[in-house]
Chains A and B, each alone.
Chain A
Amino acid sequence: MSGQNEHHTMTLKLIVWRQSTQNGPGRFETYTARNITEHHSFLEMLDVVNEDLIKEGTDPIVFDHDCREGICGVCSQVINGVAHGGQERTTVCQLHMRKFKDGDTIYIEPWRARAFPILKDLMVDRGALDTIIQAGGYTSAHTGGAPDANAIPIPKPDAEYSMDAAECIGCGACVAACPNGAAMLFTGAKVAQLAALPQGQVEAKERALAMIKAMQECGFGNCTNHYECQAACPKDIDVKFIARLNREYLKALIG
């Protein structure tokens, strides 16, 4: 039962990246997190530290967070060198302090990638991911006029494959984890989701070409098969979708 270990609290040493402006210099600062229980989420631990900082009159640590249930994809921290902290299929907001122990030192950094400029402290600008979707991550179905939803049967395995790809939450951990700062898992997931469905076939070629082009223009790198992206992905998006992306791209080039 939970609740039995609530008397045991942890004290942790945090080494956190602080950077007050986008183009200014950054530095690591050291803080102490006190009275942390195993039931605190990682972000709740940071809340405790921030409350202390505010009371001292120091600017609290800025970090992106919103739904705190692992689905909005906004939380984005590299913890001890690992995007989202290393627990399988888990975003930072769902990481809990029971994964740490009293006296631990924890390094906390923002996503680091050329295409994600730091805005402040741990907050980065991931607008480049929106740009990739805007290039073609959709079907051009106007509102109204769609045929009956059951007009085109879709084999269950295709629908499941599409859903596997569609689970991507757009957090950008794949980019942060990639030595090349590539967004190919992100891009591949969207291309594969739509390519697997009849509705996505019509524009499949243009989509692959346009999204790859946008990806490169945004300053993302290319895949060299490290597979760090899938390891860091909180939704366990499979690297097979990168292969699908390459196939769709080739088909579009020669087709």
Chain B
Amino acid sequence: MILDGKCPTGPIEKTWDKHRFDMKLVNPANKRKYKILVVGTGLAGASAAASLGELGYNVEAFCYQDSPRRAHSIAAQGGINAGKNYPNDGDSIYRLFYDTIKGGDFRAREADVWRLAQVSNHIIDQCVAQGVPFARDYAGYLDNRSFGGAQVSRTFYARGQTGQQLLLGAYSALSRQIKAGTVKMFPRTEMLDLVVVDGEAKGITIRDLVTGELRCHTGDAVVLCTGGYVNVFYLSTMAMGASVTAIWKAYKKGAFFANPCYTQIHPTCIPQSGDYQSKLTLMSESLRNDGRCWVPKNRGDNRGPNEIPEEDRDYYLERKYPSFGNLAPRDIASRAAKEQCDDGRGVGPGGRGVYLDFRDAIARLGEEMIRERYGNLFEMYERITDENGYKVPMRIYPAPHYSMGGLWVDYNAMSNIPGLFVLGEANFSVHGANRLGASALMQGLADGYFVIPYTAGHYLAQTSPGSVQADHAECRKSIEDVKAENKRLLSIKGTRTVTEFMRELGTLMWNNVGMARSKEGLTETLLKIPSIREEFRQNVKVTGNGAEINQQLENAGRTADFLEFAELLCRDALHRNESCGGHFRVEYQTEDGEALRDDENFCYSAAWEFQGEDKEPELHKEPLKFREVHLAVRSYK
């Protein structure tokens, strides 16, 4: 099937305005008759639930955390982009659009990205109105910085806690609607199934994580804002509870999963220290504004970093990418670090690390200035590693961080299942094969504040409210299915823990499907995953029962889904015989090791359709057409 994103046509700068006019409206008096279920309360979910509630819809919102304020958007440090051009340095909506298309390595839809850039300015206005304390200059105006390889300063920030402050802004708007009674909040609940009736999304089955109760909530539309899936690598910068479960359940009910192989590996994370490690910690890549990445020139150079003289150091990013240097985009900086370590020149335990050195910046600017800029990051680094980054170079290594892939959606952020909307990191829409820094926060809030309030109405205006209630046969069946699955997991009573399986899967995925992928490695991984999955089904040990707080059962369910999803990720990576953005196939690279795209054969989004357990999924293609930005080699030399 050739997929159609139903993008508006005509001049790109008029597409969203025209589309907004073309969409149908729901009469204000009728809005309260429609119920919308919003799953996840990060930037996308909280802003969507709040905005839909304000419009008068009857909203129910769900999150697995104990409070909507804790979603993992909170961990984003660096900032949020907008095309305001406040610094007068040549930025514009068009430039933000252009940079995002190019940064995504020409694998995203132009119309979606244009809209993102267009509404970016309103996001900043909205957040300021909410009382988000962005950084300001001495005149009292908003401050901007350059971030993640952008050549203009378009990033707004709130110290090193921009994600936290934006999430608390959205959470406060959500709290206001909870108080007003338009949104009913269900914390500590996890979505375990999607209910589809006559081809349309009409409900979700959730488990109350406190009582263990399984319940079906019905509505007229379902909005998934459940974040990304890079915990498939086990060790990542994601929160421990982040999973693929909600979108995987939707996939198994017919929603297409697009570009699962597009995963982002962030270059500036604290390296792993041992086998017990549970997660990896990211340090804002703003550190690369002043820190220089290097490794020893010679293998086996065991001297301490400060004893290695200048001539024996290889500032590999500056060497390879003279114009961008240490500010090369994430995918490029990550791969370069891996190359040095593969070459036997990595540093620290296991040789999986590179230095990030502030010596020269401190000599130039003084330690005080560096402390002012990055003090909280140095403190965090010291807390974890017990090393003083002012005196000894930091050690960093790339870690899984973000997933550009996700459920396929059309221009209205609606999946191929009518009534099922997908926002934020959970969808595949705007970042193509690589996301630029400070663009995730922008997308989450764009989708929630400024896209779904319009597009949900367009869909709802064409449906009649309340057509499915919780006693519907599909709801009862969904609850029975989830109950049976939980019972099965609890009854295996094997010998290995859930974490052991997740660690085994994660290690396999990281080694073969992480920063570099090969046909051989992917084929081998595709053979190994089913055997891990099979052993999991026979030999996992989950203690306790289903009618109580049971974190093992929660993790077992998420792991079972990762064990299925991992295969789809590999399959997608194997089929994409090119390198683009975060997807690097070693067979497809230029002579000097850069990603080699194949626009003739792969200029499309790959959307996979579930065909049944243990059956091969079917591939659908959505061709990508570039009318505004010409396909070009993405060079940062």
Contact = CB atoms under 8 A, between A and B. Distances in A.
Contact of A66 (B136, B239, B274, B277): B239
Interface in B10-25: none
Interface in B296-325: 304
Contact of B178 (A69, A123, A134): A134
Interface stretch (A124-132, A224-232, A238-246): A124-132
Interface residues of B, number: 87
Interface string A111-136: 00000000110010111011001110
Given A159-B134, A163-B133, A163-B159, A134 B175 contact: yes
B607 to A, nearest CB: 30
A105 interface: no
Given A2-B385, A141-B126, A66 B134 contact: no
Interface in B127-185: 127-142, 158-159, 161, 164-165, 168, 171-173, 175-176, 178-179, 185
Contact of A170 (B69, B133, B158, B544): B69
A40 B274 contact: yes
Nearest to A196: B133
A200 B131 contact: yes
A47 interface: yes
Interface in B26-62: 47, 50-51, 54
B386 interface: yes
A156 B128 contact: no
B72 interface: yes
Contacts of B67: 74, 126-127, 129-130, 170
Instruction: Say whether chain A's binding surface is mostly helix, strand, loop, or mixed.
Output: loop
A135 B125 contact: no
A199 B128 CA distance: 8
Contacts, number: 229
A130 B175 contact: yes
Interface string A30-60: 0000000111110110011001011101111
Given A67-B72, A127-B187, A138-B173, A149 B349 contact: no
B79 to A, nearest CB: 14
Nearest to A137: B172
Interface string A126-169: 11011001110111111110111110111110011011001101
Given A58-B543, A69-B75, A156 B497 contact: no
A153 B549 contact: no
Contacts of B65: 66, 72, 74
A232 B371 CA distance: 24
For the complex of A and B, the 5 pairs showing the least CB-CB separation, nearest first, are A153-B140, A138-B172, A146-B129, A141-B129, A163-B133
19 contacts: A3-B348, A43-B278, A47-B276, A51-B500, A62-B551, A64-B66, A69-B281, A72-B70, A72-B74, A72-B75, A94-B384, A120-B548, A127-B67, A130-B178, A138-B175, A153-B139, A156-B137, A170-B67, A193-B131
Interface of A: 1-3, 6, 20-21, 37-41, 43-44, 47-48, 51, 53-55, 57-60, 62, 64-74, 87, 89-90, 94, 96, 98, 119-120, 123, 125-127, 129-130, 133-135, 137-144, 146-150, 152-156, 159-160, 162-163, 166-167, 169-170, 193-194, 197, 199-200
